[in-house]
């Protein structure tokens, strides 16, 4: 595979970011996080989610899809094609990512931290969507 394909490069970056997020989730399961650590988890989630939807966008465009301009478009198209299983959770991730990017409120941050730990991380780490790239 000598071809330099953007989605493959982005997917490799996504997997590295996801590994860091996994470390954060594991730490949350072991103990209470400090405020600074919580901010780090949120930033890791933001970065990982950005890479996730951009990977989907690049992959879909590589496969011939057009009209994908942002995270919502990429999510809807990926869900329609079966690349992701729970489109509703992915749309919630977009909403949470936008909330964390434009405001900082400790209560909102704590709610999003819980969502990252209990739901969002597991959607991102779902092998089905990662393996879909191999077999699609």
pLDDT in tens, 21-68: 999 999 999 999 999 999 999 999 999 999 999 999 999 999 899 999
Domain ranges of the chain: 6-135
Angle at 93 between CA 91 and CA 43, to 5 degrees: 155
- Tell me: pLDDT of 3 over 60: no
Nearest CA among 69, 62, 85, 66 for reference residue 10:
62
Confidence (pTM): 0.86
Q: Which fold has domain 6-135?
A: 1.20.120
- Kindly state the DSSP code that residue 84 receives in the 8-state scheme: S
Nearest CA among 46, 54, 58 for reference residue 21:
46
Residue 41 has which token pair?
């988890």
pLDDT-above-70 percentage for the chain: 87
- Tell me: pLDDT of 1 over 70: no
| 87 confidence band (pLDDT: 50, 70, 90) | confident
In degrees to the nearest 10, what's the CA dihedral of 29, 22, 54, 1? -160
């Amino acid at each position: 595979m000598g071809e330099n394909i953007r989605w493959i490069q982005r997917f490799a970056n996504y997997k590295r970011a996801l590994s860091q997020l996994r470390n954060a989730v594991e730490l949350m399961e072991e103990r209470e996080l400090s405020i600074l650590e919580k901010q780090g988890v949120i930033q890791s989630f933001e970065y990982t989610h950005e890479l996730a939807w951009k990977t989907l966008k690049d992959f879909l465009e590589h496969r011939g899809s057009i009209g994908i301009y942002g995270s919502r478009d990429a999510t809807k198209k990926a869900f329609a094609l079966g690349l992701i299983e729970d489109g509703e959770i992915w749309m919630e991730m977009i909403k949470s990512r936008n909330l964390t990017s434009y405001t900082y409120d400790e209560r909102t941050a704590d709610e999003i931290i819980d969502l990252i730990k209990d739901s969002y991380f597991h959607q991102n780490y779902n092998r089905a969507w990662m393996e879909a790239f191999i077999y699609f």
